[in-house]
Amino acid sequence: MNDKNKRNRPPKQLRGKKLDERIEIVIKELAEKSEAEGRKYVFNASQVARSVPTTRRTIDRRSSLVDEILDELNSRRRMVTGSATIEQLRDQLARLKAQISERDLQINALRSHHIDIYERFHDHSLQAELLISPILEQEANEAGYCFFCGSESDSFVRKSNVVPFNHKHKD
């Protein structure tokens, strides 16, 4: 019966130095996660309280510890005024402009590579005539007329109506 009661009991609350250490660990983990996502960490007491686990009131009582940790991380608390939204939007705008400039640099680099690739294809490719002529001749014969000039297939070149041009005259 003792084991059953132990399983149903909530975990023992952290107190004193252990609580302070846990708060510091959670704040640093959240800051690392924000930096990994490319955002600057902004302290949120509710989020930290859920992760510790403890209450916001306990976090508020430890404000000096939180301030020290935030100073160490070069972070700040979440603001609750209307100017917080404006500041957040300005930060977001600056971050998005930086992402756009990075993307533009990457696109320009890719464009120059793209141009180089096509120049190499053009310089080292076969004459298009070698690839296209047999296909066009076959399709023109099947259609019965030339796609370019519209003449009938009867007037297409045949061995009987081709006159060879030789430099030597046969008399």
User: Percent of the chain having pLDDT more than 70?
Assistant: 74
Residue whose structure tokens are 């107190």: 15
Give the pLDDT confidence of 117-155 residue by residue, as tens digits.
Answer: 888 887 887 777 777 778 878 888 887 777 667 777 665
pLDDT bin (cut points 50, 70, 90) of residue 166 is: low
The answer on pLDDT for 97 being more than 90 is yes
**Is the pTM for the entire model greater than 0.85?**
no
Looking at residue 78, what is its pLDDT? 63
> 49-75 burial string, b = 16+ CB within 10 Å, else e?
beebebeeebbeebeebbeebbeebeb
Give the pLDDT confidence of 55-71 residue by residue, as tens digits.
Answer: 888 888 877 888 888 88
The answer on pLDDT for 2 being more than 60 is no
Looking at residue 64, what is its pLDDT? 82
Average pLDDT, stretch 67-87?
73
Instruction: Please provide the average confidence, as pLDDT, over all residues in the chain.
Output: 77
The answer on pLDDT for 156 being more than 70 is no
pLDDT bin (cut points 50, 70, 90) of residue 11 is: low
